[in-house]
């Protein structure tokens, strides 16, 4: 499933899945995406941060669901039939993220990706791979693996070295 995890250096073109969170448009490496599905009933986990919605049964696997909208303090968080969960395959784990909507799959050349400036977006710059401009829209390229493994996401056991 997972080809080598280091990306963007040798391959000329990389494909990204773009999604929106509020007014910002983000892109993640499509090879990290396992599937996209609707938001279903989750089982809440006690004493966990609000952005961890709980766990779902994904064909027999127990998969945590993170609502990035809550994580990044977006004002309106609703769950309706159009709410989308991106099931990611990162760090040999399966994790679902809730986003506002999934928009596109884009191929980007390495030279289209510009380094990200220090800026006050939702994401800490250390989780960014860079920025790209597509049809006058700014795309924020997220290193989703790094984000998901960060301490603040609270998805891994403390002290785990994954």
Q: Site residues (CB under 8 A) for another protein?
A: 41-48, 54-57, 60-64, 93-95, 154-157, 160
Q: How far is the CB of 54 from another protein (least distance, A)?
A: 8
Considering beta carbons, is residue 57 or 133 the nearer one to another protein? 57
Ramachandran sector of residue 60 (left: φ over 0; alpha: ψ -120 to 50; beta: rest):
left
Ramachandran sector of residue 68 (left: φ over 0; alpha: ψ -120 to 50; beta: rest):
alpha
Q: How far is the CB of 153 from another protein (least distance, A)?
A: 10
* 19: number of Cβ within 10 Å: 23
Q: How far is the CB of 50 from another protein (least distance, A)?
A: 11
Considering beta carbons, is residue 9 or 160 the nearer one to another protein? 160
Rg value, the chain, Cα? 15
Q: How far is the CB of 34 from another protein (least distance, A)?
A: 11
Considering beta carbons, is residue 53 or 131 the nearer one to another protein? 53
Q: Please choose, from the candidates 87, 69, 81, the residue with its C-alpha nearest in 3D space to the C-alpha of residue 23.
A: 69
Considering beta carbons, is residue 47 or 78 the nearer one to another protein? 47
The gap between the terminal CA atoms of the chain, to the nearest Å, is: 18
């Amino acid at each position: 499933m997972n080809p080598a995890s280091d990306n963007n250096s040798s391959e000329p073109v990389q494909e990204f899945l773009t999604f929106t969170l509020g007014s910002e448009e983000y892109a993640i490496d499509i090879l990290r995406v396992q599937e996209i599905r609707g938001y279903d009933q989750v089982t809440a986990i006690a004493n966990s941060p609000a952005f961890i919605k709980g766990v779902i049964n994904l064909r027999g696997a127990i998969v945590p669901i993170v609502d990035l909208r809550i994580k990044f303090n977006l004002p309106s968080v609703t769950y309706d039939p159009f709410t989308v969960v991106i099931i990611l395959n990162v760090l040999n784990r399966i994790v679902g993220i809730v986003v506002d909507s999934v928009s596109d799959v884009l191929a980007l050349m390495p030279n289209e990706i510009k380094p990200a400036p220090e800026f006050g977006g939702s994401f800490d710059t250390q989780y960014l791979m860079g920025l790209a401009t597509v049809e006058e829209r700014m795309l924020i390229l997220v290193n989703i693996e790094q984000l998901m493994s960060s301490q603040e996401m609270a998805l891994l056991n403390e002290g785990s070295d994954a």
